[in-house]
Amino acid sequence: MTDRIHTVPTEPFDGQKPGTSGLRKKTRVFMQPRYVEAFTQSIFDAIGGVAGKTLVLGGDGRYFNDRAAQVILRMAAANGAARMIVGQGALLSTPAASNLIRRRGADGGIILSASHNPGGEDEDFGMKFNGPNGGPASETVTDAIFERTRTIREYRIMDAQDVDLSRLGEVRLGDTVVEVVDPVADYADLMAQLFDFAAIRSMFARGFAMRFDAMHAVTGPYARELLENRLGAAPGTVVNATPLPDFGGGHPDPNPVWASDLVDLMMGPNAPDFAAASDGDGDRNMILGRGIYVTPSDSLAVLAANATHAPGYARGLAGVARSMPTSRAADRVAAALGIEAYETPTGWKFFGNLLDAGRVTLCGEESAGTGSDHVREKDGLWAVLLWLNILAARDQPVDAIMTDHWARFGRDFYSRHDYEAVPTERANALIDRLRGMLEFLPGQKFGELTVAQADDFSYVDPVDGSVSQRQGIRVLFTDDSRVVFRLSGTGTEGATLRVYLERHAGPHADHAQDPDQALGPVIAAAEAVAQIREHTGRDRPDVTT
C-alpha cells in the first residue's frame, strides 16, 4: 500500500493560528490548494503523529464539510492512523463528537465547524482538534499546532477513492479502518441516562407543546430523534430540521436577532409552552417560555439551582463555573448551595481542567453555551432536555420558574452589545486606551455610576497553575453594576467588540422592568468610559442579545 502514499511539498500559510474554537476562516480560504492539507498535517505533527491512533471525525454539514472530511481521511491513512470513526455523511454535532471520543477511548478528534457563523462558499468554515478527554485542545497543543503551521514543508496523503460515508459500517483505506457510525445513536443513549425521559414523555402526553428550531443545522436529526421519536413531542415540533450546507441562507446563531421568528412566536397569542433553538454545530442553545426570553446567564443559574430534578444530577453539584463575561447569577446560586463557583476566561477549554478534576459539574458562557461533566463541550440539546426535565418535575411554566428564581436570588439584568467587523486597528485602539486608564478609573464618575475598581482579567488555573492574561477589561461600579469589554476571536473579518452589561437587583426589587431600562445607566457609563462611537464609528451595536 505504500506506493499509494504521497509526500507532497507545501509552503506555510499565514494566519493558521487556532483560536479558542479552532481555526476559522472564509470557506474560500480553506478551499485553496493544500490549505486543509497543511493544517491537518500540522495537527498530526503537533500531537506526536497519528500512527496507531484512533481519531473521531465529523462536522456540522456546512459547505465544504464533505470534501474536507475526505482529505482528512486520506491523510490520516497516509500517516498511519489505526482507526477513523466518522459520523454518517461526515456529520457529528460538537457535543456528540466529544461524547464519541470519550465513549470510544479515542486519541482525539477533528471537528469541522465554524459553530454559529454562517455557512456557504462565500461564508465561513472551521477546523478544530479535540483531545482525548473530548474537550477543545489545550493552549499548549494549539500553540504547538500553530508553530508547526509556520514551518511545515510537506504533508502525507493517500491516493484513493472517496469513502462512501453514506453507509454505516467499516471500510479500509490502506491499513486504516474507517468506521462510519450513526451520528445520533450514542448521544441519544447518553441523554436517556441523564434525564427522566418517562416524566418528560408524560408531560408531552398531557398536552405540553413546544417548538425547536434547528436552524437547518446539525441538531435537526438529533432533536427529531430525541424530542419527537423518544419523548413523544408532536410531529413537526422540530422545524428547520434538515441540515443544509448554507443553513438555508440563515445565520445559525440561536439568539433573539437570528431566531427572531421563534421569539415572535413565543411573544405572540398562539405561543406553545416552551421553545428552544440551537446553532450550527449544536453546542449552543436559546431558551424561551410563553412571553419570556431566558438569557443564557439566567439559564445557567436556573439549571444550577434545579439540576437535582434530573436523575443524572440527583446527588448534587460539585461546583459551577462560568466565563468571566457571563453574569454573576450562577455565583449567587452556588453561594446558596454551598458549592464552589469559578470564573474563567472565555473558551470552553478553560472548563476542561475543572471538569476533569471533579471541581465542577455545570458550566456555561453568556454566548448561549451551557454544559456539564457528561462531555467536555457545551451542549445545546442537553440544556433543552434539562429544562424539559425541570418543567416536568416542577409542573410550572417558564415564567413562573423565573419569577421564583429572581425572588430567591435577585435578578442580574444583563445584555451583550456586539459591534461586528470593526477595523482591527480601531478595535485594538479602544482596548489599548482602556488598558492605559485602568489604574486611574477607580473613583471616577460616569453618568450616574462611580467606578469602584477596574482591571484586565487574568486567570490562574487552579488545577495546573497555568496563567491566562489580558482576557477582557472589567469595570465594576460602586452599586455592583458591571461592564466588560472584550474582543472576540470567533469572527472571520475585522474584530468584534463585545460589551457586556450587568446590573443586579436584589430579591425584593422590581424584577419586571424592561432590561434596557434597568441597564440604562450602565449602557451610558460604558459609552462614556470607552468612547465606543468614536472608535467604531457606530451609534448603536450591530447585534444586541
Concatenated DSSP letters for 152-170? Answer: --EEEEE--PPP-TTS-EE
Q: How far is CA 25 from the centre of its chain?
A: 17
Contact by Cβ (8 Å): 348, 135: yes
pLDDT band at 374 (very low <50, low <70, confident <90, very high): very high
Q: Is 340 helix (H, G, I), strand (E, B) or coil?
A: strand
CA distance 445 to 435: 18
What CATH number labels 187-409? 3.40.120.10
Looking up cell 454505516, which residue turns up? 168
Mean local confidence (pLDDT), 414-436: 94
Nearest to 127 by CA among 65, 195, 217, 47: 65
CA distance 449 to 441: 12
Nearest to 196 by CA among 414, 324, 436, 388: 388
Q: Does the pLDDT at position 3 exceed 70?
A: no
Q: Is 451 helix (H, G, I), strand (E, B) or coil?
A: strand
Mean local confidence (pLDDT), 426-439: 96
What is the model's pLDDT at position 184?
Answer: 98
Mean local confidence (pLDDT), 190-217: 98
Tell me the per-residue pLDDT of 501-525, one tens digit each, with 9 for 90 and over: 999 999 999 999 999 999 999 999 9
Tell me the per-residue pLDDT of 109-146, one tens digit each, with 9 for 90 and over: 999 999 999 999 999 999 999 999 999 998 889 999 99
Q: Does the pLDDT at position 392 exceed 70?
A: yes
* Per-position DSSP letters for 418-439, written without gaps between them: EEEEE-HHHHHHHHHHHHHHGG
Mean local confidence (pLDDT), 319-335: 97
For domain 411-544, the CATH superfamily is: Alpha-D-phosphohexomutase, C-terminal domain (3.30.310.50)
Mean local confidence (pLDDT), 244-265: 94
Mean local confidence (pLDDT), 352-376: 95
C-alpha cell at 45: 505533527
Contact by Cβ (8 Å): 273, 211: no
* Per-position DSSP letters for 453-514, written without gaps between them: EEEE--EE-TTT--EE----EEEEETTS-EEEEEEESS-SSSEEEEEEEEEEE-TTS--SS-
pLDDT band at 20 (very low <50, low <70, confident <90, very high): confident
Q: Does the pLDDT at position 344 exceed 80?
A: yes
What is the model's pLDDT at position 491?
Answer: 52
What is the model's pLDDT at position 493?
Answer: 67
Tell me the per-residue pLDDT of 140-173, one tens digit each, with 9 for 90 and over: 899 999 999 999 999 999 999 999 999 999 999 9
What is the model's pLDDT at position 81?
Answer: 98
What is the model's pLDDT at position 544?
Answer: 84
What is the model's pLDDT at position 257?
Answer: 86
CA distance 446 to 427: 21
Lowest pLDDT segment from 3-7, 36-40, 177-181: 3-7
Residue 263 is inside which H or E element, if any? helix 260-267
Beta bridge partners of 293: 288
Mean local confidence (pLDDT), 34-38: 98
Lowest pLDDT segment from 120-124, 240-244, 482-486, 536-540: 536-540
Domain extents for the chain? Answer: 2-183, 187-409, 411-544
Mean local confidence (pLDDT), 425-430: 94
Catalytic residues: 115
Tell me the per-residue pLDDT of 262-320, one tens digit each, with 9 for 90 and over: 999 999 999 999 999 999 999 999 999 999 999 999 999 999 999 999 999 999 999 99
Beta bridge partners of 86: 57, 180
What is the model's pLDDT at position 309?
Answer: 98
CA distance 100 to 22: 19
Nearest to 95 by CA among 291, 306, 300, 376: 376
CA distance 485 to 471: 9
Q: How far is CA 28 from the centre of its chain?
A: 24
What is the model's pLDDT at position 240?
Answer: 97
What is the model's pLDDT at position 545?
Answer: 81
Lowest pLDDT segment from 42-51, 258-267, 483-492: 483-492
Domains 2-183 and 187-409 share a fold: yes
What is the model's pLDDT at position 1?
Answer: 43
Question: What is the distance between the terminal CA atoms of the chain, rounded to a whole angstrom?
Answer: 54
CA distance 339 to 312: 18
Average pLDDT of the chain, as a whole number: 95
Mean local confidence (pLDDT), 422-447: 95
What is the model's pLDDT at position 490?
Answer: 54
DSSP 8-state assignment for residue 228: I
Nearest to 21 by CA among 369, 325, 361, 461: 369
Domain 2-183 matching CATH 3.40.120.10: the answer reads: yes
